[in-house]
Amino acid sequence: MSATQAAADNVLIARIAQGDRLAMQVLYGRHHVRVFRFGLRLVRDEQVAEDLISEVFLDVWRQAGKFEGRSAVSTWLLAITRFKALSALRRRKDVELDDEAANAIEDTSDDPEVTAQKKDASGVLRKCLSALSSEHREIVDLVYYHEKSVEEVAEIVGIPENTVKTRLFYARKKLAELLKAAGVERGWP
Amino acid sequence: MMAMSKKMLEQDPSEIEMLLPFHAAGTLNARDARRVDEALARDPELAKQYAAIQQEYAETIHLNESLGAPSARAMQKLFAEIDAEPARRPSASFNLSARIAGFFAKLSPRTMAWSAGLGALALLLQAGVIGAVLVNQTATYQAASLSMNEPTTRALGPEAPPRALVRFAPEARIADITALLDNYQATIVDSGKSGMFRLQFGNRPMTKDEIAGLINKLQNEKIVSLAVATP
């Protein structure tokens, strides 16, 4: 995100704090897709992810006056989204799905369908990315897709900066294991 | 180096290795990015791992982009809830960060570039004028007091808090600027057309050494490209 865009976001937040509905529409238009996708990757349910968006932006509407501008608006939005997503997951009590998804990858290594997929390493890689645990998935998404820095990820997830780096390293190591189980050898680790 | 990389993979990852994904995403600061580039040029094993990371990076984007977008229902629900909220009375004050943000947001990239250029030129001229004034005042002051040990800037308005002309780096984010203002207890007293800000520090006068230390500290800030003491 450029400095100009970040500055424009801060202006929108200041206007929202004044009760400017139009500014809210602009901020929503600018960020709702990324918020939705981040939420969807965490909760894995489109309806729940759509409900999350409303909750996140309603919080922004209510809390805009308290936003101090110490982090980028997009970082603040993702932090709220994460908090709401984890609350929704606790309500659904189905986090164990992550392990099932991971096992599914490992168990299908001799499946003819998987054999065919081996020819499409990109497709297998995407499938393995989806099979990562929720903790690993969110850090991969924040760094690669949302292009957040070490400091910003630490703020969103609420962990020390060194933990951000090591968690991503082990997420990548797990990804390599899943790929190997699916028949894709990349020579690392 | 290759042997070292393999050893690192078996044990704890190295700092450089852990920075590779952030390098691929372009979120490292200039210093760390340079360190990673140098390590990649030296270590073919690390470069191989970096290639795998770039593939992961591309596929993560592909995967997220394939998730589509939410329906209009989410927006309708949100604004229905906003409409149901109690009306908010706008306050007269507009916070500082929003004012700075507004200033930058109004400038186009071309205007910013021209402003920076004009700012540099104006600053050079101003530095020359200030330098000339200081030299003249120093001579006059020393002759009048007959003391060679007194600080030459003692009579240059010590009653007022120090001020400086500051230009922020182009990559400085609004959050960084507001944090810097907080750290230095600084306020913006003027935002000139040349892209420079005149800042005032604290609310008490400082000695010459204190001001020099302050300017030096400012110059070392990552987001400050130029800082010059000014009356």
Which residue in B62, B71, B173 is closest to A50 by CB distance?
A: B71
By C-alpha distance, which of B161, B157, B152, B158 is closest to B134? B152
Q: Report domain extents, chain B.
A: 2-65, 96-230
Whether residues A73 and A114 share a domain: the answer is: no
Interface mutation vs chain A, best among B64, B183, B225, most A CBs within 10 Å: B64
Q: What is the interface pTM, i.e. ipTM, of the complex?
A: 0.83
Which H or E run includes A155? helix A150-157
Q: Which pLDDT band holds residue B157 (cuts at 50, 70, 90)? A: very low
Whether residues A74 and A107 share a domain: the answer is: no
**In this predicted model, what pLDDT tens digit does every residue of B61-76 receive, in sequence order?**
999 999 989 999 999 9
Q: Which pLDDT band holds residue A128 (cuts at 50, 70, 90)? A: very high
A141 near B CB under 8 A: yes
Whether residues A8 and A88 share a domain: the answer is: yes
**In this predicted model, what pLDDT tens digit does every residue of A17-33 receive, in sequence order?**
999 999 999 999 999 99
Whether residues A64 and A43 share a domain: the answer is: yes
Whether residues A43 and A12 share a domain: the answer is: yes
Rounded CA separation A24/A12 (Å): 7
B170 preceded by a cis bond (ω within 30 of 0):
no
Whether residues A64 and A134 share a domain: the answer is: no
Which residue in B53, B61, B95 is closest to A14 by CB distance?
A: B95
Q: Angle between the A150-157 and A161-181 helix axes, to the nearest 10 degrees?
A: 90
By C-alpha distance, which of A184, A145, A180 is closest to A168? A145
Top pLDDT among B188 and A125 is at A125
A126 near B CB under 8 A: yes
Rounded CA separation A106/A180 (Å): 9
Contact (CB<8Å) B97/A129:
no
3-state secondary structure of B187: strand
Quick one: closest CA in A to B103, which residue?
A7
Parallel/antiparallel/unpaired status of strands B224-230 and B163-168? antiparallel
Position B91 pLDDT exceeds 70: no
Rounded CA separation A105/A98 (Å): 11
Domain end among A92, A117, A133:
A92
Query: Average pLDDT in the B194-203 region?
Result: 77
Q: Which pLDDT band holds residue A117 (cuts at 50, 70, 90)? A: low
| A18 within 8 A of A66, measured Cβ to Cβ | no
3-state secondary structure of B224: strand
Full residue range of the structural domain in which residue A27 is found: 3-92
Report phi then psi at A69, rounded to 5: 75, 15
Quick one: closest CA in A to B173, which residue?
A3
Contact (CB<8Å) B53/A172:
yes
The residues with which B149 forms a beta bridge, in sequence order, are none
Amino acid in position B119: G
Rounded CA separation B174/B199 (Å): 16
Would residue A188 count as lying in a domain? no
- Tell me the chain B residues in contact with residue A50 when contact means C-beta distances shorter than 8 Å: 70-71, 73-74
By C-alpha distance, which of A125, A135, A136 is closest to A186? A125
Would residue A186 count as lying in a domain? no
Whether residues A102 and A87 share a domain: the answer is: no
Q: Give the pLDDT score at B224.
A: 83
Show the CA angle centred on residue B180, arms to residues B174 and B185, nearest 5°.
125
Interface mutation vs chain A, best among B73, B168, B173, most A CBs within 10 Å: B173
Burial of residue B1, with CB atoms counted within 10 A of its CB: 0-12 exposed, 13-18 middle, 19 or more buried: exposed
B81 near A CB under 8 A: yes
Query: Average pLDDT in the B25-48 region?
Result: 94
Position A95 pLDDT exceeds 90: no
> Which CATH number fits the domain that encloses residue A61?
1.10.1740.10
Domain end among A92, A122, A142:
A92
Report phi then psi at B190, rounded to 5: -160, 135
Would residue A11 count as lying in a domain? yes
Structure tokens at B94: 């507009």
Tally of domains within chain A: 2
Parallel/antiparallel/unpaired status of strands B186-191 and B163-168? unpaired
Query: DSSP letters along B32-45, please?
Result: HHHHHHHHHHH-HH
Q: Give the pLDDT score at B215.
A: 87
CA distance A39 to chain B (A): 11
Residue whose structure tokens are 């004050």: B93
Position B1 pLDDT exceeds 50: no
CATH class label, B96-230: alpha beta
